[in-house]
């Protein structure tokens, strides 16, 4: 039908692309550097998508695999550390170390700072060869165990053969993650455009436990994968925030309501008699939670569960802060296991008997889920309860008890909903409770990073305690760019002292801070730790003597707080 016309059009477009591709880089790292530049500077989703499709059309297959890996959060071997990188940059540029530091504080990104400081050996306009992306990544692996002198030589010689854009991505490969404004969803869509696979299939294929150095593009994205990866998770289905009255959702009978837990969204997979635990960030976390190992014997083979990873005792969730202390550890001690036992609050069933259940309605999945979990007696896995309610008003009242129940509101799911891929509107909603708020004054400021480089955008806030100001939280987000610029200019004009990158500021600007929870903490001077603090609004109408007090914070702790187990 139209297929042929499409093909011809694609072909013409491809030719056109080849003609208009930047002449400076025949492929390889240059092509990738150009992609990163476009993705980083485009303000339109379509332009980004187009840039990705173009890249996949032109790039070497091995490079493509690496780009998929990098943009889905995988990292190459770390061949050199940042200290070495900085040292060599200082050697090459012959600048004092402090000036490197000042430059870094202004740029806010190490890879970019180095790219900007190195003397130009090849200008971006100049025609030059550029080696493939995979060449560098393989080389990193080779030199990882070698002498520092070998590494130094490789890095400096590589810099000399690159223009500034290439140096930037090269340094990025060394220093870590590419966060450049391209979502996994966008990459999946670009790949779907480029291959004949469905976006949902691609999302599934590129998730999980594959190694970009041994996986070929064909293996990753051919139509029938030959090798089974038992650990492979499904892409998560994500909900949108409910932005209207729940009554508009219609008949309550069509909806299943659960508490919205404040833990880590996770998938528990039992296949081939092995257990795998994935976080929503696609991190394999099986080893982090030894408690879950019992699930290997309890769950039927070929089962995939969706739920919340959360510390709890007697089915009652503990504060998120405690989960964080667990995740941060390399080794989990016996004491950890006793104090913060991790439970899996299961709420969905994605695979049963090795069969993909995502296209069955939620009601059916829930029924089977209950049949699997109910008979289990371990505290390690429980069913996330379904809330019974007769009308939306009743639910609204129940929602006020969220904090007492260790939840941050409700999840509202259509009983007939299929388990979709990514964030989709219509069937799943999160109905969160309003945050807690407190008025406070800014006392310290620090420069931000990335798109906030060279602007004072990270602030520390204080409440009153008699005449004293007690710092109690930091926050980085919640103001508009214009407001940030205004505060930045205030900081520059009203700083009292400098401690490294931190400036103490005249306590004059009042802000309302919103947060999701409060817990006692003996690591903080104020005695409290806030969960997810951010600036709610700038209270230009308030003077510093009208802010809240430490007493107010302590009252909040009493009412809403969760005390750590000791």
Partner 1 sequence: MALIEFTDKGLCCPQGKFYIDPWKPVDKALITHAHSDHARWGSKSYLCHTYSKPILQLRLGDNPYQTVEWNENISINGVKVSFHPAGHVIGSSQIRVEYNGEVWVVSGDYKVVDDGISGQFEPVPCNTFITESTFGLPIYKWKLPEQINKDIQNWILKNQEEGRTSVIIAYSLGKAQRVLKAIAEVTQNIFVHGAIYNIHATLMQAGWNLPAVKRVTNETKKEELAGSVVVAPPSADGSSWMKRFTPYSVGVCSGWMQVRGNARRRNVDAGFAMSDHADWAGLLQAVKATGADKVFVTHGFQAQFSRFLNENGIEAAEVKTEYGNDEEEGPTALTAAEE
- Considering only 49, 107, 295, 513, the residue that binds partner 1 (CB under 8 A) is 107
For the record, the structure tokens of 330 come out as: 């390399």
CB of 168 to partner 1, least distance (A): 8
Looking at beta carbons only, is 126 or 565 nearer to partner 1? 126
- Considering only 2, 4, 125, 334, the residue that binds partner 1 (CB under 8 A) is 125
CB of 130 to partner 1, least distance (A): 20
Instruction: Confirm or reject binding of residue 141 to partner 1 (CB under 8 A).
Output: no
Closest of 219, 216, 235 to residue 227, by C-alpha: 219
* C-alpha distances in Å from residue 351, one per residue of 138, 202, 355: 37, 18, 5
Q: In the 3-class helix/strand/coil scheme, how is 438-489 assigned residue by residue?
A: EEEEEEEEEEECHHHECCEEEEEEEEEECCEEEEEEEECCCCCHHHHHHHHH
For strands 468-475 and 495-499, give the pairing: unpaired
Q: How far is CA 430 from the centre of its chain?
A: 19
- Considering only 455, 469, 519, 528, the residue that binds partner 1 (CB under 8 A) is 455
For the record, the structure tokens of 259 come out as: 């508490």
Instruction: Confirm or reject binding of residue 102 to partner 1 (CB under 8 A).
Output: yes
462 to 481, contacts with partner 1 by CB under 8 A? 481
Instruction: Confirm or reject binding of residue 50 to partner 1 (CB under 8 A).
Output: no
The span of 219-227, 301-309, 433-441, 449-457 binding partner 1 (CB under 8 A) equals 449-457
Sign of the dihedral defined by the CA atoms of residues 283, 287, 288, 293, in that order? positive
Looking at beta carbons only, is 165 or 460 nearer to partner 1? 165
Secondary structure element (H or E) that encloses residue 432, with its range: strand 428-432
Contact 213, 219 (CB under 8 A): no
For the record, the structure tokens of 363 come out as: 């009601």
CB of 91 to partner 1, least distance (A): 14
Looking at beta carbons only, is 486 or 512 nearer to partner 1? 486
Looking at beta carbons only, is 103 or 368 nearer to partner 1? 103
Taking residue 114's Cβ as centre, other Cβ atoms within 10 Å add up to 28
Contact 311, 289 (CB under 8 A): no
187 to 246, contacts with partner 1 by CB under 8 A? none
> Rounded to the nearest 5°, which phi and psi values hold at 454?
65, 10
Contact 286, 257 (CB under 8 A): no
- Considering only 42, 72, 82, 549, the residue that binds partner 1 (CB under 8 A) is 42
Instruction: Confirm or reject binding of residue 453 to partner 1 (CB under 8 A).
Output: yes
- Side-chain half-sphere of 7: how many Cα atoms within 13 Å? 5
CB of 238 to partner 1, least distance (A): 25
For the record, the structure tokens of 19 come out as: 């003609």
CB of 183 to partner 1, least distance (A): 15
Beta bridge partners of 413: 256, 428
For the record, the structure tokens of 348 come out as: 């969905």
Closest of 402, 366, 423 to residue 517, by C-alpha: 402
Contact 288, 332 (CB under 8 A): yes
Instruction: Confirm or reject binding of residue 97 to partner 1 (CB under 8 A).
Output: no
488 to 547, contacts with partner 1 by CB under 8 A? 488-489, 492
The span of 247-255, 330-338, 360-368, 446-454 binding partner 1 (CB under 8 A) equals 446-454
Instruction: Confirm or reject binding of residue 449 to partner 1 (CB under 8 A).
Output: yes
Contact 304, 345 (CB under 8 A): no
CB of 69 to partner 1, least distance (A): 23
CB of 348 to partner 1, least distance (A): 37
Looking at beta carbons only, is 102 or 339 nearer to partner 1? 102
Indicate the length of the chain as a whole number: 566
> Rounded to the nearest 5°, which phi and psi values hold at 242?
-75, 120
Instruction: Confirm or reject binding of residue 120 to partner 1 (CB under 8 A).
Output: yes
Query: Can you tell me the distance from the alpha carbon of 343 to that of 279, in angstroms, rounded to the nearest whole number?
Result: 14
- Considering only 75, 265, 424, 452, the residue that binds partner 1 (CB under 8 A) is 452
CB of 85 to partner 1, least distance (A): 16
Assign 3-state DSSP to the chain and report helix, strand, coil percentages, each to 5.
Answer: 40, 25, 35
Geometric angle at alpha carbon 541, from 536 and 545, rounded to 5° = 95
CB of 492 to partner 1, least distance (A): 8
391 to 430, contacts with partner 1 by CB under 8 A? none
Looking at beta carbons only, is 89 or 438 nearer to partner 1? 89
DSSP states of 65-96: HHHHHHHTT------S-HHHHHHHHHHHHT--
- Count, residues near partner 1 per rule CB under 8 A: 38
Instruction: Confirm or reject binding of residue 450 to partner 1 (CB under 8 A).
Output: yes
Secondary structure element (H or E) that encloses residue 530, with its range: strand 528-531
155 to 194, contacts with partner 1 by CB under 8 A? 181
Looking at beta carbons only, is 23 or 466 nearer to partner 1? 23
Instruction: Confirm or reject binding of residue 367 to partner 1 (CB under 8 A).
Output: no
Residue 335 annotated as catalytic: no
For strands 528-531 and 517-520, give the pairing: antiparallel
Looking at beta carbons only, is 106 or 353 nearer to partner 1? 106
Residue tagged active-site, from 172, 232, 260, 464: 260
The span of 105-113, 231-239, 297-305, 512-520 binding partner 1 (CB under 8 A) equals 105-113
Instruction: Confirm or reject binding of residue 6 to partner 1 (CB under 8 A).
Output: no
User: Catalytic positions, please?
Assistant: 260
What residue ranges bind partner 1 (CB under 8 A)? 40-44, 93, 95-96, 98-99, 102-103, 106-109, 112-113, 116-117, 120, 123, 125, 181, 449-455, 481-482, 485-486, 488-489, 492
């Amino acid at each position: 039908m139209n297929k042929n016309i499409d093909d011809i059009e694609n072909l013409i477009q491809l030719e056109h692309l080849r003609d208009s591709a930047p002449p400076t880089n025949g492929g390889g790292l240059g092509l990738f550097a150009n992609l990163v530049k476009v993705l980083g500077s485009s303000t339109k989703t379509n332009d980004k998508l187009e840039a990705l499709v173009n890249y996949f059309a032109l790039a070497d297959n091995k490079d493509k695999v690496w780009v998929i890996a990098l943009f889905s959060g995988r990292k190459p071997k770390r061949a050199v550390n940042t200290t070495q990188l900085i040292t060599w940059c200082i050697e090459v540029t012959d600048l004092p170390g402090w000036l490197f530091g000042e430059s870094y504080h202004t740029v806010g990104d190490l890879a970019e700072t180095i790219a900007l400081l190195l003397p130009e050996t090849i200008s971006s306009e100049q025609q030059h060869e550029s080696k493939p992306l995979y060449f560098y990544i393989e080389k990193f692996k080779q030199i990882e165990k070698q002498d520092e002198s070998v590494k130094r030589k490789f890095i400096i010689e590589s810099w000399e053969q690159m223009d500034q854009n290439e140096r930037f991505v090269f340094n990025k490969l060394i220093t870590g993650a590419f966060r450049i404004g391209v979502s996994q969803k966008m990459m999946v869509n670009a790949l779907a455009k480029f291959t004949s696979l469905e976006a949902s299939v691609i999302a599934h294929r590129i998730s999980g436990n594959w190694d970009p150095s041994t996986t070929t593009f064909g293996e990753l994205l051919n139509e029938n994968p030959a090798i089974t990866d038992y650990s492979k998770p499904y892409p998560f289905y994500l909900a949108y925030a409910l932005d209207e009255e729940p009554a508009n959702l219609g008949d309550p009978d069509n909806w299943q309501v659960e508490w919205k837990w404040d833990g880590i969204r996770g998938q528990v997979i039992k296949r081939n008699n092995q257990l795998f635990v994935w976080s929503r960030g696609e991190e394999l976390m099986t080893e982090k939670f030894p408690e879950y190992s019992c699930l290997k014997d309890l769950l039927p083979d070929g089962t995939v569960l969706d739920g919340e990873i959360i510390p709890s005792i007697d089915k009652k969730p503990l504060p998120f802060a405690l989960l964080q202390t667990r995740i941060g550890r390399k080794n989990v001690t016996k004491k950890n296991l006793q104090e913060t036992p991790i439970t899996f609050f299961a709420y969905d069933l994605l695979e049963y008997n090795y069969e993909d259940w995502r296209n069955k309605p939620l009601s059916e999945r829930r029924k089977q889920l209950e049949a699997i979990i109910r008979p289990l007696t371990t505290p390690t896995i429980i069913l996330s309860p379904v809330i019974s309610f007769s009308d939306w008003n009743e639910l609204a009242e129940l929602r006020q008890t969220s904090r007492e129940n260790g939840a941050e509101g409700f999840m509202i799911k259509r009983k007939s909903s299929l388990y979709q891929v990514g964030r989709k509107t219509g069937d799943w909603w999160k109905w969160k409770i309003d945050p807690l708020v407190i008025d406070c004054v800014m006392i310290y400021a620090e420069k931000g990073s990335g798109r906030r480089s060279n602007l004072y955008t990270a602030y520390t806030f204080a409440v009153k305690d008699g005449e004293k100001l007690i710092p109690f939280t930091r926050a980085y987000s919640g103001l508009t760019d214009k407001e940030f610029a205004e505060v930045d200019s205030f900081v520059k004009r009203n700083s009292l002292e400098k401690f490294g990158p931190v400036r103490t500021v005249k306590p004059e600007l009042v802000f309302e801070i919103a947060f999701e929870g409060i817990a006692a903490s003996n690591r903080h001077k104020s005695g409290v730790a806030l969960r997810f603090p951010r600036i709610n609004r700038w209270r230009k109408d308030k003077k510093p003597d009208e802010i809240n007090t430490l007493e107010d914070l302590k009252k909040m702790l009493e009412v809403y707080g969760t005390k750590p187990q000791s």
